[in-house]
């Protein structure tokens, strides 16, 4: 049986892992390779490295760290942030990343998703979606969320964008529910379930994890394939072996 995945997300700036997702005042947490190995040893099923150096400024970054991670890590990992072209993606994939995740650049130019799928196969192409419920009750997509000053609300409905991204060749969707992000009060089950209903590729929940029960809920109620979290893992509030034990007790299949 296909197991549900637990994915720690590490923010990378200038070659180091930093804390303070999407806020200023980043604090260095440690070396990328050390933290990647620590999560690997703890039983993480996959890692996402979100390169926050480049995206809002639109500049390319030094990706030497991707190769360093690929050398030591024997679980899959995805690189997000600053990938705007097939060439950018090739550099990251050839350095050893298993997948690339695109967000704002795909909104600027949706054809990018198809170009990546054509060049590398859909299994390499993750589309990240930042979504927030508007006053009229609709979930809509946000762009440039890496920098609060540049974040834009789009007219594009989240459900429409998820459907379009799949048509274009997304092999996986990461839905970051901004309304629950950072609050640690649980994933946005309602929104994730609505997206799940129209999503036939793997769906990753992001935003809101605070307790082991939140993970069990999002798997059982929104039927997502994976759950991503940052702060609860980084702070040590939730240890992955304990989390897997409690998920197993709740009847959720996880990798031993």
Q: Which chain residues interact with another protein by CB under 8 A? A: 1-5, 40, 45, 67, 70-72, 74-76, 90, 93-96, 98, 120-124, 171-172, 200-202, 225-226, 255-256
Closest C-alpha to 119, from 96, 95, 85: 85
Q: Taking a C-beta distance cutoff of 8 angstroms, is the pair 53, 66 a contact?
A: no
CB of 75: closest distance to another protein in angstroms? 6
CB of 156: closest distance to another protein in angstroms? 24
Whichever of 48 and 132 has its CB closer to another protein, that residue is 48
Catalytic residue among 88, 98, 130, 225: 130
CB of 183: closest distance to another protein in angstroms? 27
| Partners of 5 in the β-ladder | 226
Q: Taking a C-beta distance cutoff of 8 angstroms, is the pair 79, 42 a contact?
A: no
Catalytic residue among 11, 45, 98, 225: 11
C-alpha 28: how far from chain center: 20
Closest C-alpha to 126, from 166, 158, 153: 166
Whichever of 70 and 177 has its CB closer to another protein, that residue is 70
Q: Give the pair of three-digit tokens for residue 51.
A: 């390169």
Whichever of 135 and 200 has its CB closer to another protein, that residue is 200
Per the listing, tokens 């200023």 go with 24
Judge whether 225 counts as a catalytic residue: no
Judge whether 223 counts as a catalytic residue: no
Q: Give the pair of three-digit tokens for residue 47.
A: 């890692």
Write out the catalytic residue numbers. Answer: 11, 130
């Amino acid at each position: 049986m296909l197991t549900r995945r637990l994915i720690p997300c590490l923010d990378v700036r200038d070659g180091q892992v930093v804390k303070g997702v999407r806020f200023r005042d980043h604090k260095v947490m440690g070396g990328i390779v050390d933290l990647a190995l620590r999560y690997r040893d703890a039983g993480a099923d996959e890692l996402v490295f979100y390169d926050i150096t480049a995206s809002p400024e639109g500049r390319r970054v030094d990706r030497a760290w991707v190769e360093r991670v690929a050398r030591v890590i024997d679980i899959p990992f995805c690189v997000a942030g600053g990938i705007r072209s097939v060439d950018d993606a090739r550099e990251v994939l050839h350095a050893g990343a298993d997948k690339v995740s695109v967000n704002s650049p795909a909104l600027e130019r949706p054809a990018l998703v198809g170009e990546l799928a054509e060049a590398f196969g859909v299994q390499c192409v993750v589309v990240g979606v930042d979504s927030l419920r508007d006053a009229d009750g609709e979930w809509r997509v946000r762009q440039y969320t890496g920098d609060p000053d540049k974040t834009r609300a789009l007219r594009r409905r989240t459900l429409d964008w998820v459907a379009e991204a799949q048509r274009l060749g997304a092999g996986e969707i990461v839905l970051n529910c901004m309304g629950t992000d950072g609050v640690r009060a649980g994933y946005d089950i309602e929104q994730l379930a609505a997206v799940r209903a129209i999503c036939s590729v793997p769906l990753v929940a992001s935003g809101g994890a605070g307790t082991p029960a939140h993970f069990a809920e999002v798997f059982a109620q929104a039927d997502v394939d994976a759950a991503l979290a940052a702060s609860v893992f980084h702070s040590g509030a939730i240890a992955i072996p304990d989390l897997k034990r409690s998920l197993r007790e709740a009847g959720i299949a996880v990798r031993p």
